[in-house]
A and B are shown apart, each in its own frame.
Chain A
């Protein structure tokens, strides 16, 4: 039973990783941007939920209704201004710009909100759980997060495969110049992809803030897990990201089962094994370069 417990816990944590990582995967897939500020964006979403949402007289559990649209808009604007300027120069500049953003955000948060831990308080909802058996309880909140993660990935997949804008996103990702020749404004498409990525990271940030205490510096560690989930699953594949997140979560829980200190180690061993055996990730595309 203890193994079942471990695996279920891993799947639940893993789907959070997937929710957290899908924006990272999308931005890399479409714009070839490695957004080093991705984790910090999630943290900012958490702070926004705590300090801005009460002004709207909204229960904290509904904070995503406000934060997600703000982040989508923020993502679009940031892409069309700063990030586009960086892309127009070269990939290294883009990497430096997102790194700079990460440093600025962390320090601004420290300056404004101090290093004290924060958490989004949704009251008794967080402690409700489902008693499956005498040894196995699943918290409703982690089930909700898993459902949200699957729903987000599913709708993203449908959006990309069924809609005209989704098709344009895939076309731009394949060949930016050819997409322009088809009348596509690739900068606008980049903006939309970025808006989606930021909306999903806002959801992840809120989920994180509800389930645990976070600090201005929490972005970095989460970013690492998101990267691992994306690399394990294969860059650019949304289902790969889900699988990568789940596998990462499970191997972390298995590691933790042996010793709490082995939690991160368990994930890293899987990560290194995938890199060694299948560097393009489980669902990774063949690179044609």
Chain B
């Protein structure tokens, strides 16, 4: 398959996940999934509830230990690296449910993210330009913000670490469609800075609109890999719901 975006960036992947398997106790949540993320591209991982999307992201961030397989970042195996060290290497996760620090203000939340930041274009000031409503509400506790605003703070908090790969988990969860649209408007602007984005989304339409490539999970296994423009709705539906897994299935990552 061909790729249209990211021509000015190195062709070698920043993040490479190979044959990753993760168990929650007896349950196999992620089953031999392989994928890669390059600078300046968006890889969308879609799938139904319980397909293993969040577990996949959390394992890449270091919050779960894989049972098998490997996670490499810029050529180094980081499978055993602690979560906070992965952040310093350049992998940040915007967690599901936002997970803001409720007793801290907007600005303090972002500053915690900036504390172990690497070099890069994103700092507090850049965030205030990206989200113009923020400066005047920076001393408010995050509990006073709306869901969409909280999501923006969560994204800003992850961005100020200047990640090379940004992992975004279910950004649209619990938000109104108009708010989701606004949040998604920021993703191209992040990608423009050369950040690779790996996002997990239940909302397939949103994911397809923003993605360079799509990776569909079904019950922990890869059921479809492809470029949005080349995939038919029927193929995606089949991969998403598993009515016909064989149809349109590709083996491994398309790289």
Cβ A184 vs Cβ B115 within 8 A: yes
Cβ B87 vs Cβ A182 within 8 A: yes
Residues of B close to A182: CB separation below 8 A: 84, 87, 112-113, 115-116, 157-158, 161
Cβ B112 vs Cβ A167 within 8 A: yes
Q: In the complex, A177→B82 CA distance in Å?
A: 12
Stretch at the interface among A1-9, A69-77, A129-137, A168-176: A168-176
Chain B 70-107 interface residues, beta-carbon cutoff 8 Å to A: 82-84, 87-88, 92-93, 95, 99-104
Q: In the complex, A179→B101 CA distance in Å?
A: 8
Majority SS at the chain A contact face: helix
A170-B103, A171-B101, A175-B99 known; A181+B61 contact, CB < 8 A = yes
Shortest Cβ distance from residue A234 to the other chain B in the assembled complex, whole angstroms: 13
Cβ B84 vs Cβ A164 within 8 A: no
> What is the number of contacts between chain A and chain B, taking CB atoms within 8 Å?
77
**What is the chain B residue whose CB lies nearest that of A285?**
B103
Q: Is the C-beta of B108 less than 8 angstroms from some C-beta in chain A? A: yes
Report the count of interface residues on B (CB-CB < 8 A): 28
A182-B87, A182-B161, A185-B84 known; A171+B112 contact, CB < 8 A = yes
**What is the chain B residue whose CB lies nearest that of A186?**
B84
A184-B112, A184-B115 known; A167+B84 contact, CB < 8 A = no
Q: In the complex, A182→B61 CA distance in Å?
A: 11
Residues of A close to B103: CB separation below 8 A: 170, 173-174, 285
A182-B157, A183-B88, A184-B116 known; A177+B63 contact, CB < 8 A = yes
**What is the chain B residue whose CB lies nearest that of A165?**
B115
Cβ A178 vs Cβ B115 within 8 A: no
The 28 listed contacts between A and B (C-beta, < 8 Å) are A167-B104, A167-B108, A167-B112, A168-B112, A168-B115, A170-B103, A171-B108, A173-B103, A174-B103, A175-B99, A175-B102, A177-B63, A179-B112, A180-B62, A180-B82, A180-B84, A180-B87, A181-B158, A182-B115, A182-B116, A183-B84, A183-B87, A183-B113, A183-B115, A183-B117, A184-B115, A185-B84, A285-B103
Q: A168-B112, A177-B63, A180-B83 are in contact. List 12 more A-B contacts (CB 8 A).
A: A168-B115, A170-B103, A175-B99, A175-B100, A178-B95, A181-B83, A181-B87, A181-B92, A182-B116, A184-B84, A184-B112, A185-B82
